[in-house]
Structure 1
Amino acid sequence: MASKWINKGYNTSIVLDFVGLNSSTYYSNINRETKSESTNSSNSNNPKGRPIPGYSLTESGEKISDEQIKEWLLELIAGDGFPYGYRKLTVCLKEDYKLKINKKKVYRLCKELDILRPQRKIKKIRPKKIAKQEEITDPNQLWQMDLKYGYIDGTDQFFFQMSVIDVFDKTVIDYHLGLSCKAKDTCRVLKAALNKRKMYKGMNLPKIRTDNGPQFVSKLFGDTCESLGLEHQRIPVRTPNMNAHIESFHSVLEKDCYSINEFSSFIDAYKKVSEYMNYYNNRYRHGSLNDMPPAKFYKLAKAEKIVAEPVLA
């Protein structure tokens, strides 16, 4: 009651005398409330517990990003088809991938993916189109998409590169670089690639082939492909050879860019990777393209000025 009147501007001494409250008791309560508010504010801004690092270590000490672990979890579920809970998935990660990881973290990642057992029983997005090997004879028949992880030494963080490559001419049509890569980023890259190739709904559009990563099994990506009129193929579990062309590009990217740079920051990584991507598309002499850069090979192929061998993919 005293605080109510004092806060309205009435003289403190008069109010305390009126209610019969000792001044030392009043100020003691005020100090206690102020300290409590300060503590609560501090706790809300800095919650207890160590920050989530965003990766786990293997037995050999290699850092594996949480996004890669999520992809492995999805593949483990799709591969065995059994109703594994997070505890058994933890065992699988330890044995199959030599990860040093505990069941609490696996539970958290499963919860983020919405694949804990009750949800997995009822969750059904759409029928899965399984990729099959086929012969590619022209550009824009088959595109492959995949995610690659890079490491930033200066900040102890991972960055993500999502790329879409044309299987026939090996051009990386578009890509995303970021400290995260969500389904919306993957959809944006796909739409940008279609625009760059001037391909629109109603035309003879490329098939899109991916693995079973969380970005690709998401409802958003499936809905986007459907709305654009694209056929989305997903490779069978543990068959990276079905996505061999994007995997081959990632090997070149790792050897020529990622492994020879110690990135000091994300800005540094973005600059160096972007420079390399320009080099790869426009100047890198590709052995499977008669030693021509992908962009030049694509231009000649579209103009029908070269006769190229079919590609098996």
Structure 2
Amino acid sequence: MYGYRKLTVCLRRDYGLIINKKKVYRLLDEMDMLQPQRRKRTKYPRRLANNREIKAPNELWEMDIKYGYIAGEQRFFYVLCTIDVLDREVIDFHMGLSCEGKHAAGLIQRALWQRQLFEKEQRPVIRTDNGPQFISHVYEEACETYGVTHERIPPKTPNKNAHIEAFHSLLEAECLQRYEFSSYQEAYEIVTGYIRFYNERRMHGSLYDLAPKEFRKALAAGEIQAKAVKV
């Protein structure tokens, strides 16, 4: 079915009517025959990563994707992680055979829930690269819905996302390279187990040789002071 503008052309051309498009529009409106208007999508501004000095948890999170390979099934899997820049904890992650904007959007919601931030006015800045998941409309809508600021690093500057890059290097060296996965289920169990080990037991030199969760607990109890992180 044509819209009112093209229908006006047809009425003039095929029936010789002298009629303008405004009249056609009014008639269609009265008969409830107008086509639904296409919704204009909101354009979200691109925010470049700013230089920051991080002094507390939940000020800046970094998010990125790591690939793994399942030899037994000859296919790749994805690990999408969110890490807190100050305490280095992997707050939450998505692992699957696909990784789209909707998965990244869902990860924001779960990470905010994990850190119990929905009841707080202050929300973290989330820093990513320019991957398709992070420039998708569904991801940007989620950032706006959940009240977080999304900033993207310039192309070819992985140092701007150094903390998630460092974790993924550890994941590669200490987990992915040590196994030849026969199935997705095996890969899932081993990778999730490593992330749990990293958070709860792996000592971190910049965290007073504590694991991320140990550091965060000691910080909350006032037993230690956090060192500011410049990014």
Superposition TM-score tier, normalisation by shorter sequence: 0.7 to 0.9
Whole-angstrom CA distance in 2 between matches of 1:132 and 1:243? 12
2:62 paired residue number: 144
> 1:14-44, CA deviations, whole angstroms, 9 ceiling, x for partnerless residues?
xxxxxxxxxxxxxxxxxxxxxxxxxxxxxxx
Question: Residue 298 in 1 paired to residue 181 in 2?
Answer: no
Which residue type is aligned with residue 48 of structure 2?
I
Whole-angstrom CA distance in 1 between matches of 2:120 and 2:198? 31
1:58-207 to 2 correspondence within 5 Å?
125-200=43-118, 203-207=121-125
Question: Residue 218 in 1 paired to residue 136 in 2?
Answer: yes
The alignment's TM-score, normalised by the length of structure 2, stands at 0.80
Secondary structure of 2:58's partner?
Answer: coil
Q: Which has the larger radius of gyration?
A: 1
Which residue type is aligned with residue 142 of structure 2?
T
Whole-angstrom CA distance in 2 between matches of 1:128 and 1:302? 34
Which residue type is aligned with residue 283 of structure 1?
R
Shift of 1:287: 1.2
> 1:257-279, CA deviations, whole angstroms, 9 ceiling, x for partnerless residues?
00101011100100100111110
Whole-angstrom CA distance in 1 between matches of 2:222 and 2:125? 22
Shift of 1:303: 2.5
Whole-angstrom CA distance in 2 between matches of 1:215 and 1:290? 35
Whole-angstrom CA distance in 1 between matches of 2:45 and 2:107? 23
Secondary structure of 2:133's partner?
Answer: helix
Shift of 1:188: 1.1
2:26 paired residue number: none
Whole-angstrom CA distance in 2 between matches of 1:226 and 1:201? 16
Secondary structure of 2:196's partner?
Answer: helix
Structure 1 moving runs of 4+ over 6 Å:
none
- Bigger relative contact order, structure 1 or 2 (CA pairs below 8 A, ≥6 apart): 2
Aligned residues: 191
Secondary structure of 1:175's partner?
Answer: strand
Larger helix fraction of residues: 1
Shift of 1:143: 0.2
| 8 Å contact from structure 1 (residues 144, 208) kept in 2 | yes
| 8 Å contact from structure 1 (residues 144, 166) kept in 2 | yes
> 1:255-311, CA deviations, whole angstroms, 9 ceiling, x for partnerless residues?
100010101110010010011111000000011111100001011122322112101
Closer/same/farther in 2, CA of residues 252 and 301 from structure 1, 3 Å limit: same
Shift of 1:242: 0.3
Pairwise CA RMSD = 1.3
Shift of 1:209: 0.4
2:228 paired residue number: 310
> 1:147-186, CA deviations, whole angstroms, 9 ceiling, x for partnerless residues?
1000111111000000000000000000011000111111
Residue identity over aligned pairs, in percent, reads 47
1:253 paired residue number: 171
| 8 Å contact from structure 1 (residues 201, 229) kept in 2 | no
Secondary structure of 2:134's partner?
Answer: helix
Whole-angstrom CA distance in 2 between matches of 1:125 and 1:304? 43
| 8 Å contact from structure 1 (residues 235, 242) kept in 2 | yes
| 8 Å contact from structure 1 (residues 143, 206) kept in 2 | yes
Whole-angstrom CA distance in 1 between matches of 2:172 and 2:212? 18
1:233 paired residue number: 151
Which residue type is aligned with residue 108 of structure 2?
L
Question: Residue 275 in 1 paired to residue 196 in 2?
Answer: no
Whole-angstrom CA distance in 2 between matches of 1:305 and 1:193? 25
